[in-house]
Structure 1
Amino acid sequence: MSDEQTDSAHGSLAALAAAVSAKALPPVHLWHPERCGDSEMRIAVDGTWFHQGTPIGRPALVQLFSTILRREPDGSFVLVTPHEKLDIAVEDAPFVAVEVQSIGSGEERRLIFRLNTETLVEAGPDHPLRVDVAADGTPRPYLLVRDGLEALVARPVFYELADMALAEDALVPRLWAGGACFPFGQS
């Protein structure tokens, strides 16, 4: 695919990836409020956000909450503002990579992922891909989004990545993205 690759809702994915990188998120790493509690929220394995057991149906609200999500040093997750920090349960990863666009090939390849929150993330050294293997032997692929927050790569997207990797080198399944090489095996 080329840099002119577009999707109907977003225009040029390469241009959008650059715009997303430039967009500043709230400085949650600087916020350490004394007021703490439980948000009564959770993020399911499939990326659905719930409040008090009910799915949050407004995508804009989920997108807003996702910008104030932080991973704590102990591995837990919180929603944080300058005035309040609330625990949130995350069943696996807080995001799901639901689409990928490939631009170029081999060591020049760029991979731009769209998350379930409509966020775009370009894989590379700052946003590596990794593949864990679950206890049942199935691969569990992840993309680092930011500051310890990952996206589970949806199964159909993982199959696309695997096809790309095998097409380039069937003996050593790996994929280049953003100048970095990512193996397709247990990390």
Structure 2
Amino acid sequence: MPMPPPPDLHVLTMDEVAAAIAAAIPAPVERWHPAHCGDSEMRIARDGTWYHQGAPIGRRGMVRKFASILRREPDGGYVLVTPGEKLDIAVEDAPFVATAMKAANGRVAFQLNTGDLVIAGPEHALRFAQAADGPRPYLHVRGGLEALVARPVYYELVALALETDADRPGILSNGAFFPLEPA
């Protein structure tokens, strides 16, 4: 059965974003522990493009379906997991990319390249790492999986952080404060 198209973050109110997140039923990947079956021959590039055997996967619905069964292993690796099999998948940086954001009513919501929605807060922390090419912001999505915040969205975050009256620039969302400085 095809997945429904993802919602458009920009036309939703923050309450509608929260309702869409609450209505989503994630696959229980943390409960699935089949024997390791091998390599998926898949890779997720730093820009969020999914590849299979070196060719990009062009069907967005297929990427969304694969993303729904992605899990981070205790050793830091990534797997695609179902009740019957577990396959390694290479991830160059983070498995998701936050491509849009919206701030309202004390919350900051993000839309991922997969269409999923996440509101930053205590369970979905923002962190800022320092890299050779500058700060690299990440958003915790679920189960150790993160989204790299796309550069244009990062600039929106910085502008939002500079609007606050805090002693140090940061993002306040859902009752949690995330300083812009790298950890």
Tell me whether the two structures share a fold, i.e. TM-score over 0.5. Answer: yes
- Shift of residue 175 of structure 1? 1.2
| Partner Cα separation in structure 1 for residue 54 and residue 144 of structure 2 | 26
What SS is found at the alignment partner of 1:98? strand
- The answer for the alignment partner of 1:114 in structure 2 is 111
1:126-151 CA distance string (max 9 Å, x none):
001000001x2610100000000000
- The answer for the alignment partner of 1:3 in structure 2 is none
Note the aligned Cα RMSD (angstroms).
1.8
CA contact (8 A) 2:9 2:100 kept: no
| Partner Cα separation in structure 1 for residue 62 and residue 84 of structure 2 | 19
- The answer for the alignment partner of 1:185 in structure 2 is 181
- The answer for the alignment partner of 2:33 in structure 1 is 32
| Partner Cα separation in structure 2 for residue 13 and residue 54 of structure 1 | 37
Counterparts of 1:36-47 in structure 2, within 5 Å, are 36-47=37-48
CA contact (8 A) 2:9 2:111 kept: no
CA contact (8 A) 1:35 1:83 kept: no
- Shift of residue 174 of structure 1? 1.1
CA contact (8 A) 1:49 1:62 kept: yes
Unaligned runs of 5+ in 1: 1-5
- The answer for the alignment partner of 1:159 in structure 2 is 155
| Partner Cα separation in structure 1 for residue 8 and residue 28 of structure 2 | 31
Query: Are residues 31 and 184 of structure 1, via their aligned partners in 2, closer, same or farther at CA, if it must alter by over 3 Å?
Result: same
| Partner Cα separation in structure 1 for residue 46 and residue 116 of structure 2 | 18
Query: Are residues 84 and 10 of structure 1, via their aligned partners in 2, closer, same or farther at CA, if it must alter by over 3 Å?
Result: farther
1:68-118 CA distance string (max 9 Å, x none):
0000000000000000100000000000000000003xxxx1011000000
CA contact (8 A) 1:10 1:16 kept: no
| Partner Cα separation in structure 2 for residue 117 and residue 167 of structure 1 | 29
| Partner Cα separation in structure 2 for residue 39 and residue 64 of structure 1 | 14
What SS is found at the alignment partner of 2:146? strand
What SS is found at the alignment partner of 2:152? helix
* Superposed structure 1 runs of 4+ greater than 6 Å apart: none
Provide TM-score, normalisation by structure 2.
0.91
| Partner Cα separation in structure 2 for residue 8 and residue 132 of structure 1 | 26
Unaligned runs of 5+ in 2: 1-6
Counterparts of 1:1-187 in structure 2, within 5 Å, are 11-104=12-105, 109-134=106-131, 136=132, 138-169=134-165, 172-187=168-183
Query: Are residues 84 and 7 of structure 1, via their aligned partners in 2, closer, same or farther at CA, if it must alter by over 3 Å?
Result: closer
Deviates more, 1:52-61 or 1:15-24: 15-24
Work out the number of aligned pairs and report it: 177
- Shift of residue 21 of structure 1? 2.5
| Partner Cα separation in structure 2 for residue 179 and residue 68 of structure 1 | 29
CA contact (8 A) 2:9 2:102 kept: no
Provide TM-score, normalisation by structure 1.
0.89
Query: Are residues 103 and 83 of structure 1, via their aligned partners in 2, closer, same or farther at CA, if it must alter by over 3 Å?
Result: same
